[in-house]
Structures are given as C-alpha cells and as structure tokens.
Amino acid sequence: MDALQPVTISDRKVVDASGGQVLLEWTLTGRPDEWWIAAFARSPAVRTGSSSFVWAAPTNPDVRSNGTIRWQVAEQDLGGAASFVKESVDWANSQLPVEKGRRESQREQEATDERARAEKLNELQRKLEES
C-alpha cells in the first residue's frame, strides 16, 4: 500500500475468556501495511494495570495484516490493554506524515538518480559516435 492511510478502530470485542484471561480483538478500518504494523509496535504508549502487565515480560498485541489486532491479557488488565491499543493506533497514525515525506524524498532521489544515469549514458553514446 503506497498511499499510506490512517487506520482506525471500528470495533472491539472480547473473543474468549478462560482462567482469568481474556482474548481481545480490535477490528480496524483498512488493512495495515508492514510499515504501519512496525510503527504500531514502536509506539511509546505506556502500559497501565497490574505489575505483571506492565513489567513482567508482558505479551504484545498481535497486529494482523487482515485488519485485526488480537491480544490475550489478564481480566484485570482489560482497560489498560484497551488504552494501550488506542494510544498505539493513534501514535502510528501520527507518524504517517513523516513516512509519506520519507517516501516522497526517496522517489525524488530515485528520479534524480535515473535522470543522471540517462544523461551519462547519452554522453557516453555521443562519445562513442564521435570516435
């Protein structure tokens, strides 16, 4: 997906619950590309909740390219997980202008490089024809 678009949460639900754990699922608008998924993972969002959710080798949300996020957490951390995912979605979207600018700069550099290459080939062709 070259035309980067914001991804928003359109639905969220509890998919399963067992043994004090809940499996949460968020449905997203659109299908996030690899860049957006990586941006989501780099989010500086802060976890709030139980000490095991915040500090003890916590699990991470599983962002899928089919447009869903799944995450199994302790029941007591349901609210913290919901806040974390929302903040991470918002943060990833806030990085879109930066990435769009980077991609535009890259396209411009590639076009400049291609023009320089074509000019060099033309120059060499002229030299060949003159010899």
Spatial contact of 59 and 49, defined as CB atoms under 8 Å apart: no
Outline where the chain has alpha helix (H): 34-41, 51-54, 78-94, 96-130
Position 114 in a domain: no
Hey, how many other C-beta atoms are within 10 angstroms of the C-beta on 23? Answer: 14
* Mean of pLDDT values over 21-36: 93
Burial 67-82 (b: 16+ CB within 10 A, else e): ebbebbbbeebbebbb
103: pLDDT strictly greater than 50: yes
Within a domain: 73 = yes
The answer as to whether 101 is a domain residue is: no
Q: Is residue 123 part of a domain?
A: no
In a domain, 37, yes or no: yes
State the chain's mean pLDDT as an integer.
90
Domains identified in the chain, total number? 1
Give the pLDDT confidence of 40-59 residue by residue, as tens digits. 999 999 999 999 899 876 78
54: containing domain: 9-94
Residue 125 belongs to some domain of the structure: no
Give bridge partners of residue 18 from the DSSP assignment.
Answer: 21
Nearest CA-CA partner of 40 in 97, 95, 2: 95
Residue 39 lies in a domain: yes
Give the separation between CA 49 and CA 82, rounded to whole angstroms: 11
Q: Is residue 124 part of a domain?
A: no
pLDDT (0 to 100) of residue 96 = 87
Q: Which two tokens stand for residue 99?
A: 């990435």
pTM equals 0.75
